[in-house]
Chains A and B, each alone.
Chain A
Amino acid sequence: MMLRVLLRKEILLEMRSREILVSMITFGAAVVLLYAFSFRPSPEILRQFAPGLLWTVVLFVSVLALHRSHSLEKEFDAFSLTLSAPVDRSTLFLSKWFGNFLMLLISQVILLPLFFLFLQLPFPSMPGAFIGLLILVDLGISSAGSLLSGAVMRARVNEFLLPLLLFPMVTPLMISAVKSTAAVMESQPFSQWKLWLQLIVSFIIVFGLVGYLIYDHVCEE
């Protein structure tokens, strides 16, 4: 119930401010166009590079959402409204996690077709597995990112700190995402990329649990 209230607020804030999604989509589209026009390798080489390019776009774009989700709370000291209310801080973490996940997912609905269109890549032949992977990796990025974003929100240079801390932290997730996406794009059997998928799921569980348990202390001033 409380999670629904908090999530509804996250969505309402984005509907009213229209800051997060617009900046994510604009920035993501700019990076995709940059990739498309700055180098023109052969289709074979491009197919090999595509998973890495895709996840760097997603990672860059996610920083905007993750940073904004907590910086919106700083304006007018709005966070104090929620912090002083009878709200469990773990539920607050879940709302930030799922709110950021939702923003990532919505931005990808627009950015993914652009990515495949401008880089002239065929859409993966296993669309179910590909979309499933996207959802899992988005959950991973948003779990670690929401936790970090909360931790650095009151730092003076939080806009620099967030990517500086986030990128090394999600490196295992990104490697797993690139490897498994490459396997899916090449239609490899599940046994070939099962290990990477297990790593992704482990990452989600670890950061989801850590965030759930320590967000109370993380979001303190």
Chain B
Amino acid sequence: MLSIENVSKRFGAAAVLNGASMRVGHSESVGLVGKNGSGKSTLLRIVSRILFCDGGSIDWDGQSLLGSDVTLRRSLLYLGHEPGFYPALSASENLHYLADLYGVERSSALIAEKLEEVGLDSFRKGPIRNYSRGMLQRLLLAKALMLQWSLLLMDEPTTGLDSDGMELLSALIASWRKEGRSLLIISHDNAWISAHVDRMYVLEEGKIKSREGGMSAPHHSDLVTAV
């Protein structure tokens, strides 16, 4: 289980997160919504250890994710709002590098298969600098298909996707949920995210104010305002 307790983060004078707490259980799909600049992406980047927090704790199955033990990060995968790949390299080269970083199989056949699954097999050789936003989003999905993770952190996964891409994303999320994997998703598309999560949190003024489902449910108006 992912447990985020009292996480705070300041950028200069601005307190972006101010005691944010939330949980994502095993086999659970959780949404996080909030206004622009409310700190949703910051929180995901802190969980992924791209950013450091100023205070609080983040645990995965009882072990701190903020420590220096890097092996724990194999369980988590971050798909950011930005592509997070090297634009000068091809899709295959980026995925080769990714596989090396995580120490998983990196055969060209496997990479070609994953790229085919996301509809990028015919574009795998050129630099991804020339990719459209939707193609980069598909490449992020290939990243998720390449690795064995237990918790997937997705920041605006629908950005730039066409209708086929949206269908692919929905199908993949459904299959991951079926496999019992945990998901934490940020999206501005309230209707879309509602269809893909078990419950939702709202991040407002640096705090996670309300929850839906088993815990305290947010008011519908809160969600609408936040989104």
Interface residues of A, Cβ cutoff 8 Å to B: 2, 5, 8-9, 12-13, 16-17, 72, 75-88, 216-217, 220-221
Contact = CB atoms under 8 A, between A and B. Distances in A.
A77 B86 contact: no
Contacts of A221: 45, 50-51
A86 B93 contact: no
Interface in B165-222: none
Where chain A touches its partner, the secondary structure class is helix
Nearest to A217: B52
A13 B101 contact: no
Contact of A78 (B45, B77, B87): B87
Interface stretch (B24-32, B55-63, B66-74, B114-122): B66-74
Contacts of B93: 12, 16
A13 B68 CA distance: 28
Given A12-B93, A220-B52, A221-B51, A80 B86 contact: no
Contacts of A84: 48-50, 73, 76-78, 84
Given A17-B88, A84-B49, A221-B50, A77 B73 contact: no
Contact of B73 (A78, A81, A85): A85
Nearest to B131: A76
Contacts of B83: 76-78
Given A77-B80, A77-B82, A13 B50 contact: no
A5 B45 contact: no
Nearest to A221: B51
Contacts of B102: 85-86
A80 B89 contact: no
A216 B48 CA distance: 14
B100 interface: yes
B196 to A, nearest CB: 22
A217 B54 CA distance: 12
Contacts of A216: 68
Contacts of B48: 80, 83-84
Contact of A72 (B45, B50, B76, B88): B88
15 contacts: A13-B89, A16-B88, A16-B127, A77-B82, A77-B83, A81-B84, A81-B85, A83-B48, A83-B49, A84-B49, A85-B73, A85-B98, A86-B70, A88-B68, A221-B45
B45 A82 contact: no
Nearest to B47: A84
A64 to B, nearest CB: 17
A170 B18 CA distance: 41
B70 A87 contact: yes
A16 B89 contact: yes
Contact of A82 (B71, B74, B89, B101): B101
A16 B97 CA distance: 14
B18 to A, nearest CB: 18
A4 to B, nearest CB: 9
